[in-house]
């Protein structure tokens, strides 16, 4: 994918990102290209894509010390806001060596899944929705997982069996963390791994992380089918499982409108599609994070648009 840089800034004094009136910004702001930026505009220039405050690098000179033309850049304070125009850190610079990766694991910035947890064998465990009260990610087996910078240049860090629920807990903070899932060659940001079910076009044998919105919950005798909102290109998407399993994941008849995050493959299912995640491979997102999903959805749509240009 070509790098989408911030081509111009939206300049508008007396506008604040936190107040969120992006329509006014788009209507009233002046487009200012990096070469026309003036230091007095500082704090009043915003990204045309995510609307967070941006800055120019270098701020005052026309060229950097390495003779690169001045350009706009996002501000780290707003890095929790996803944006297609944010420059991703170069792969391989993230965790250049084993020690850096191990430190990131200890800090909780790098999370390595060596597998997904099975349902704990606890009789009559409380089945509560969302994260509260459930004991998950129990002492699982540690496993060696390669983080490869280049093929043949790997090192090993401990991984654990975990659940998708652990991703949903503190979801807003997790979006900026690095995750490596089973089968992946290297870690990448959670926000860049989550795929919108609306964008699925066909069967996919590779396991990936998706989000989808619950449209309907239909209880049959042996199976409860959770229907997710169908995509732009496909019809009907089902998540079938036993009623007990869904209940333990906090999904009931009244879960319509909630978002589900799952790790899985996409199969054909009648005239539509389905996935069959195990207990540890899916969870309902606590509703306080729905806005983050909507931002991701807009970001994925923008990426598709930019990639087609
Ligand atoms: Zn932006």
> What is the distance of C-alpha 8 from the center of its chain?
26
Q: CA neighbours within 13 Å on the CB side: how many for 7?
A: 6
Residues 188 and 198 in one domain: no
Q: How far apart are the C-alpha atoms of 7 and 32, rounded to whole Å?
A: 9
Ligand 1 centroid – CA 83 distance (Å): 5
Residue 169, φ and ψ in degrees, nearest 5: -75, 130
Residue 12 maps to a domain:
yes
Ligand 1 centroid – CA 51 distance (Å): 6
Ligand 1 centroid – CA 251 distance (Å): 35
Residue 89 maps to a domain:
no
Residue 3 maps to a domain:
no
Least Cα distance to 259 among 234, 294, 208 occurs for 294
Using the 3D structure, point to which of 192, 226, 252 is the last residue of a domain.
Answer: 192
Instruction: Over range 247-264, report the average pLDDT.
Output: 93
Q: How far apart are the C-alpha atoms of 59 and 308, rounded to whole Å?
A: 33
128 pLDDT band, cuts 50/70/90, is very low
Joined tokens for residue 244: 């007990």
Residues 302 and 207 in one domain: yes
**Percent share of the chain, pLDDT over 90:** 46
Q: What is the pLDDT of residue 148?
A: 55
| Domain range enclosing 137 | 98-192
Q: How far apart are the C-alpha atoms of 242 and 240, rounded to whole Å?
A: 7
Give one word for 85, left, alpha or beta, with left for phi > 0 and alpha for psi -120 to 50. Answer: alpha
120 pLDDT band, cuts 50/70/90, is low
Q: For tokens 């309902």, name the residue.
A: 284
Residues 159 and 114 in one domain: yes
Q: If you count them, how many residues does the chain have?
A: 309
2 pLDDT band, cuts 50/70/90, is very low
Q: How far apart are the C-alpha atoms of 22 and 16, rounded to whole Å?
A: 9
Element (H, E) at 237: strand 237-241
Average pLDDT for the chain? 83
Tally Cβ neighbours within 10 Å of residue 210: 25
Cα 180 to Cα 13, 44, 186, 187, 292: the distances in Å are: 42, 38, 6, 4, 21
Ligand 1 centroid – CA 87 distance (Å): 10
Residues 198 and 303 in one domain: yes
Residues 70 and 114 in one domain: no
Domains held by the chain: number: 3
Residue 92 maps to a domain:
no
Ligand 1 centroid – CA 26 distance (Å): 14
Residue 112 maps to a domain:
yes
Least Cα distance to 29 among 6, 51, 7 occurs for 51
Residues 203 and 288 in one domain: yes
Joined tokens for residue 113: 């899944």
Residues 145 and 242 in one domain: no
Q: What is the pLDDT of residue 135?
A: 47
Ligand 1 centroid – CA 76 distance (Å): 11
Residues 108 and 71 in one domain: no
pLDDT, tens digit, for every residue of 17-59? 998 899 999 999 999 999 999 999 999 999 998 899 999 988 8
301 pLDDT band, cuts 50/70/90, is confident
Residue 282, φ and ψ in degrees, nearest 5: -150, 160
Tally Cβ neighbours within 10 Å of residue 204: 16
Ligand 1 centroid – CA 123 distance (Å): 48
Residue 250 maps to a domain:
yes
Residues 243 and 301 in one domain: yes
> Which residues, 6 or more positions from 31, have their beta carbon under 8 angstroms from its beta carbon?
8, 9, 10, 11, 48
Least Cα distance to 92 among 176, 187, 177 occurs for 187
Residue 90 maps to a domain:
no
Using the 3D structure, point to which of 192, 209, 234 is the last residue of a domain.
Answer: 192
pLDDT, tens digit, for every residue of 170-203? 999 999 899 999 888 778 889 989 999 988 988 9
Among 17-26, 111-120, 129-138, the minimum mean pLDDT is found in: 129-138
Residues 201 and 237 in one domain: yes
Joined tokens for residue 63: 């060229």
Q: What is the pLDDT of residue 195?
A: 94
Ligand 1 centroid – CA 36 distance (Å): 19
Cis? peptide before 58, omega within 30° of 0:
yes
Residues 302 and 199 in one domain: yes
The pTM score is 0.68
Q: What is the pLDDT of residue 63?
A: 83
Ligand 1 centroid – CA 289 distance (Å): 20
Ligand 1 centroid – CA 74 distance (Å): 6
Q: What is the pLDDT of residue 300?
A: 87
Tally Cβ neighbours within 10 Å of residue 291: 10
Residues 131 and 213 in one domain: no
Instruction: Over range 155-161, report the average pLDDT.
Output: 77
Residue 270 maps to a domain:
yes
**Looking at residue 241, which CATH number applies to its domain?**
2.40.50.140
Using the 3D structure, point to which of 192, 224, 254 is the last residue of a domain.
Answer: 192
């Amino acid at each position: 994918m070509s790098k989408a840089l911030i081509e111009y800034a939206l300049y508008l004094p007396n506008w604040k990102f936190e107040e969120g009136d992006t329509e006014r910004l788009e209507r009233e702001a002046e487009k200012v290209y990096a070469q026309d930026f003036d230091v007095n505009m500082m704090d009043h220039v915003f990204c045309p894509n995510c609307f967070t405050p941006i800055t120019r690098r270098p701020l005052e000179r026309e060229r950097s010390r390495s003779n690169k033309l001045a350009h706009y850049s996002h501000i780290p304070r707003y890095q929790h806001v996803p944006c297609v125009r944010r420059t991703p850190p170069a792969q391989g610079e993230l965790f250049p060596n084993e020690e850096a990766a191990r430190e990131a694991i200890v800090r909780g910035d790098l999370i390595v899944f060596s597998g997904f947890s099975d349902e704990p064998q606890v009789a009559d465990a409380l089945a509560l929705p969302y994260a509260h009260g459930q004991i998950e990610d129990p002492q699982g087996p540690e496993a060696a997982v390669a983080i490869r910078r280049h093929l043949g240049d790997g090192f090993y860090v401990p991984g654990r069996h975990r659940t998708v629920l652990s991703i949903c807990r503190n979801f807003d903070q997790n979006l900026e963390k690095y995750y490596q899932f089973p089968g992946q060659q290297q870690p990448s940001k959670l926000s860049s791994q989550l795929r919108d079910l609306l964008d699925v076009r066909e069967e996919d044998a590779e396991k990936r992380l998706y989000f989808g919105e619950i449209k309907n919950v239909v209880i049959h005798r042996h199976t409860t089918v959770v229907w997710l909102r169908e995509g732009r290109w496909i019809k009907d998407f089902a998540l079938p499982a036993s009623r007990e399993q869904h209940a333990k994941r906090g999904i009931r008849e009244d879960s319509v409108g909630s978002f589900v995050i799952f790790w899985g493959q996409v199969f054909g299912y009648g005239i539509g599609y389905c996935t069959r995640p195990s207990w540890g491979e899916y969870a309902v997102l606590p509703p306080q994070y729905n806005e983050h999903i909507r931002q991701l959805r807009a970001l994925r749509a923008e990426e598709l648009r930019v990639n087609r240009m």
